Amino acid sequence: MKVTQEKLPDSQVGLDIEISSEVSKSAYEKVVRQYAQTANIPGFRRGKVPRTVLIQRLGVNRIKAAALDSLMQDHLPKAIEQEDIPAVGEIEFRGNIDELIEQYQPGEPLVIRAKVDVEPEVQLGQYQDLKVQAEEVKYDPAQVDEMLKQEQVKQATLIPVEDRGAQEGDVVFVDFAGQFVSDDPEAEPEEVPGGAAENFRVELEPGQFIPGFTEGIVGMELGETKKLELQFPEDYSSEEMAGRGVKFSITLNEIKERELPELDDEFAEEISEFKTIAELREFLEKDYQEKAETRTTDNKHTVLLQAVVEAMTLELPETMIRQEIDQIVTQQAIQLSEMGIDVKRMLSPEIISGMRAEAKPKAVERLKQSLALKEIARRENIAAEESEIQEEEAKALKMLEGQAIDPQRLRSYVTEDLLKKKTLTWLEDNSTIELVPEGTLTPIKSEDEAGELVEPNLDLDAEKDESTQPLTGETVEPETDQPSSSAVPEEE
């Protein structure tokens, strides 16, 4: 079988596959025989239909189309194997199938044109002796105090208050309802979507809601009803509400103040596995120091990868991009499911389509970084040793004990992860990195309790339950009759 290759854009290879006259005829005759055995032609028993009648009834183009389908199913994969093409997707016919059917004459040579996505050619630019700046994350001892303060607040006892008004730091329960401010005094009042609730719990802390909401509650007395005229921020997440004025009617039902526990050994035992507050402090200090060092290393690797990717030339095949998007969207769905969300009900085709579109830039960037690291590892003979792989496999199996694990997938993941880490370390060792203060190059990021980096999240919708709240601050927990879609989020 003669195959001619042609390089196409977007990391594709075109193939012209020549089918001999013998094979061309054989495929056609085979289809005729198959139809003769299965076709149901009135007036004839199955398998006894004369050839001329069969072809007349079915139509020669129908038979030719079936023969071409058989030829493609057989010869396209063989062409990939014969030419040793590093395909990353399914080989596809290219051209006009109707024209090919017309051209196809059984017993005469035929050329079938096809295309296939292939592994991209990575053309690296400069990756040695890079000179970059990276932000240094320094450990701040105040983090330990803040962490302990947050735990105190979580463990606090809420004491009802009746002899004073609401103060900052209190937990209050209010009824509220909101209406948009209209320029037309004759217009019917427009309710704020989700902007009403009864006996709703509010933490009187700065930045919990839109500007002026919690501030307006401070000073209110039990049973008092107050009118607040506020405005949604211009950059509010809902375009319908952004920048619009709103009037809230708020009734204060209950005030509670927090009684914080003492920072002593008993407190340490209550919230941790440590016996004394000194041991807990020591652990937290070490933990925050290690996280600061890890974030600094991550910052170094990020800027190094950015420099490498910016200098490289690469055409990504659509198959790889599609597969990477699949992984991202699947992971997002798993995370939503773990939060208790019914993914099957929530993720309509329209939402999934939007998620895929949003995931594409991230997928492209991840692929570029991954391919760049693999190419650097190949050029610099960086490899994961068998002993290293086995050690990491053992760690992973211990962490995933009791779960069904595919050994081959685990080994593949561990090997790729080790190779990535070793290549990043090589880049770090062979580059000049100037450390600059945190916030110099990018907005300062906060760190959640799990140790992962997250952008400061100050847009908590009141209808979100605890499982969906970020861990960077106090949660706003609805008690009863909470609004279905609260329009009173935190300040951004």
What phi and psi values does residue 231 have, to the nearest 5 degrees?
-145, 135
pLDDT at residue 492, as a whole number: 40
Domain with CATH 3.30.70.1050 in the chain: 2-117
Contacts of 156 (CB under 8 A, 6+ apart): 258, 259, 260, 261
Q: Round to whole Å and give the CA distance between 107 and 114.
A: 21
Q: Round to whole Å and give the CA distance between 194 and 25.
A: 71
Cα 455 from chain centroid (whole Å): 15
> Please, what is the end-to-end C-alpha distance for the chain in angstroms?
65
Q: Say if CB 432 and CB 446 are below 8 A apart.
A: no
**Coil, strand, or helix at residue 93?**
strand
Contacts of 387 (CB under 8 A, 6+ apart): none
Token pair, residue 308, equals 């490498």
Domain with CATH 1.10.3120 in the chain: 295-445
pTM of the entire structure? 0.67
Whole-number Cα distances in Å, 320 to 87, 308, 309, 363: 11, 20, 17, 9
Per-residue pLDDT tens, the chain, 492 aa: give them.
Answer: 899 999 999 899 999 999 999 999 999 999 988 888 887 777 777 777 788 888 888 889 999 999 999 999 999 999 999 999 999 888 999 989 999 999 999 999 999 999 999 999 999 999 999 999 999 999 999 999 999 999 999 999 999 999 999 999 999 999 999 999 987 777 788 898 888 999 999 999 887 788 999 999 999 999 999 999 999 998 887 788 888 999 999 999 999 999 999 999 999 999 999 999 999 999 999 999 999 999 999 999 999 999 999 999 999 999 999 999 999 999 999 988 888 888 888 888 888 999 999 999 999 999 999 999 999 999 999 999 999 999 999 999 998 888 888 899 999 999 999 999 999 999 999 999 999 999 888 776 554 433 333 322 222 233 333 333 222 233 333 333 333 334 444 444
Provide CATH code, domain 157-259+457-468. 3.10.50.40
pLDDT at residue 462, as a whole number: 32
Residue with tokens 């009648």, as numbered in its chain? 53
pLDDT at residue 489, as a whole number: 41
Instruction: Give the strand pairing for 225-231 and 131-136.
Output: unpaired
Give the Cα-Cα-Cα angle 256, 258, 263 (nearest 5 degrees): 170
Position 113, amino acid: R
Listed residue (79, 93, 75, 60) closest to 24, CA to CA: 75
Provide CATH code, domain 2-117. 3.30.70.1050
Q: Round to whole Å and give the CA distance between 158 and 141.
A: 29
Position 297, amino acid: T
pLDDT at residue 482, as a whole number: 39
pLDDT at residue 236, as a whole number: 84
pLDDT at residue 475, as a whole number: 30
Domain with CATH 3.10.50.40 in the chain: 157-259+457-468
CATH architecture of 295-445: Orthogonal Bundle (1.10)
Q: Say if CB 113 and CB 12 are below 8 A apart.
A: no
pLDDT at residue 444, as a whole number: 61
The edge-to-edge listing of strands for the beta sheet with 92-93 is 2-8, 12-19, 110-117, 92-93
**Coil, strand, or helix at residue 252?**
strand
Whole-number Cα distances in Å, 167 to 204, 218, 339: 7, 5, 33
**171 strand-pairing partners:** 203, 256
Q: Round to whole Å and give the CA distance between 341 and 335.
A: 9
CB-based burial label for 42 (10 Å; 0-12, 13-18, 19+): exposed
Contacts of 399 (CB under 8 A, 6+ apart): none
**Extended beta strands in 425-483, E state:** 432-437, 446-447, 453-454
Listed residue (382, 349, 362) closest to 321, CA to CA: 362
Q: Looking at residue 258, what DSSP letter applies?
A: E
